[in-house]
Structure 1
Amino acid sequence: MNFLEVQFALRGRTLPADHSYALYSAVKQLLPSYAQKNQQSEESVIPINLPADVRLCSIPGIPDKDGMIYLHRGSRMRLRCPAEQVQFWYRLLQNQVLDIRGHLIRLVQPRLTLPQPSDTLKARLVTFKLEAIDHAEVPYYFLESCKKGLERLEIRAQASIDSTAAGDLARRTLQVKDKKILGYGVIVEGLSDDDSLKLQWHGLGGRQHFGCGWFYPVREEANDS
């Protein structure tokens, strides 16, 4: 699969720290109006929902410890999609204003990038369906799910749960409507170039429209501040 990443610089100040579902909803709301506006065009079929092969990333920022983040010059709205869909998403999102739970951001200065291979990738949040498992055993079954996910993709690498700056397990949650979903930050090491690109495309776990399972080279963290 040939895929590209579209990145947009942002005009705005703040976002909710847990904004991934709201970002997905804001992008999704653009699709029906765009389809209606272009219904007489000869373009390829316009989706009315986000296709399964389109992935969004949560937007990085500086946390204020009160459920908010402040955007900085490195903050980007990022989307990965098959190469043949790039023109559609580029046109749809360019210069749009998104309402993220009352916080307005404008998407500007779009650019296209090729994901770069790295032997170590990280994801801020990966989720699996583990609700029925005793809390104390969640990390074990979570890592088992990561291992099986890599095996399904025929990727030979080692997954581990990331840690926070304080040395705790990077246990994180995602709010989807009235439900909180548990997950962890994940590091995958020992990747070949092909497997690195494969993992960046397929990700691990569910809720990938909401930014989960989005893997990136560790070196990108230095550019997020």
Structure 2
Amino acid sequence: MSLPYVELSFGVIGQTLPADHGYGLYSAIAHLCPQIHEQEELSIQTISGKPDGQGKIELSRQSKLRIRLPYEPAQIALVLPLAGQQLTIGNHRIQLSIPQIFPLYPVDKLRSRIVTIKKFQEPEPFKEAAQRQLDALGIQGNLILPLNEDGEPARKAIKIKTYSVVGFSLVITDLSDEDSIKLQQFGLGGKHRMGCGVFTSFPRAWRFYDA
């Protein structure tokens, strides 16, 4: 029987971050917690903030660093050294608080800001590949590619060192409680430690064309 997953939520104190900070955040965390490189089951969500329209986000009291991992003392101990630390991401600095630990809870509709599946960079083939991954996990749900302001599937990209990885925003609806938890645990696609393929509930004021 697999272990239940939990989410460690660190408060974030700072002014701004790059809007595309998944790789930089992972690098900063790995610098303090090098063993995180081997943690395949761990995922790191990008930090939320208000887009400034110029490639940055403005942080607020609601901004959190969320790390999702199995509820296993040795694994949790690997990321606890982050508590109270300062992270440098590019020329931005943030301070982390002591984390709170939350269980995952089921909701029937989940979304991921960006899902990346290697070799699938066009909407229809990508959607089919995502469906195959859902089927492999035994998850039943209705898969939707949200549209941007131009009525096109919301293509996203994250920069990793010198290259960009392309993906799409993804929404899965009509999930059972069991499948909702499973999707939150395992995600879809790759780069989960850089904020990709991690599924969360909808923010209250959510719009399809978010940052």
Which secondary structure does the structure 2 equivalent of 1:191 belong to? coil
Distance 2:179 2:36 in 1: 32
Distance 1:48 1:125 in 2: 21
Match of 1:7 in 2: 9
Match of 1:35 in 2: none
RMSD of aligned Cα (Å): 2.0
Structure 2 residue 102 is matched with structure 1 residue 100: no
Match of 2:188 in 1: 204
Distance 1:48 1:73 in 2: 26
Once the two structures are TM-superposed, the CA of residue 169 in structure 1 deviates from its matched residue by 2.1
Q: 2:167 aligns with which of 179, 183, 186?
A: 183
Aligned residue type for 2:70 = P
Once the two structures are TM-superposed, the CA of residue 163 in structure 1 deviates from its matched residue by 2.2
Identical counterparts, % of pairs: 36
Aligned residue type for 1:110 = P
Distance 1:49 1:59 in 2: 20
Which secondary structure does the structure 2 equivalent of 1:112 belong to? strand
**8 A contact 2:158–2:165 mirrored in 1:** yes
**8 A contact 1:28–1:50 mirrored in 2:** no
Match of 1:148 in 2: 132
Matches within 5 A, 1:11-90: 11-32=13-34, 47=35, 49-85=37-73, 87-89=76-78
Change (3 A) 1:89 1:76: farther
**8 A contact 2:36–2:78 mirrored in 1:** no
Aligned residue type for 1:205 = G
Which secondary structure does the structure 1 equivalent of 2:17 belong to? strand
Once the two structures are TM-superposed, the CA of residue 167 in structure 1 deviates from its matched residue by 3.9
Aligned residue type for 2:7 = E
Once the two structures are TM-superposed, the CA of residue 156 in structure 1 deviates from its matched residue by 1.0
Q: 2:123 aligns with which of 112, 120, 139?
A: 139
Change (3 A) 1:198 1:48: closer
Once the two structures are TM-superposed, the CA of residue 164 in structure 1 deviates from its matched residue by 2.9
Match of 1:159 in 2: 143
Which secondary structure does the structure 1 equivalent of 2:53 belong to? coil
Give the greater-gyration-radius structure (CA): 1
Distance 1:50 1:105 in 2: 25
Structure 2 residue 158 is matched with structure 1 residue 170: no
Q: Structure 2: give runs of 5+ residues left out of the alignment.
A: 207-211
Calculate the TM-score normalised by the size of structure 1.
0.85
Distance 1:120 1:165 in 2: 21
Distance 1:210 1:50 in 2: 14
Which secondary structure does the structure 2 equivalent of 1:74 belong to? coil
Query: May I ask how many residue pairs the two structures share in their alignment?
Result: 205
Cα distance per residue 1:4-36 (max 9 Å; x no partner): 00001111000001000000000101124xxxx
Aligned residue type for 1:59 = I
Calculate the TM-score normalised by the size of structure 2.
0.90
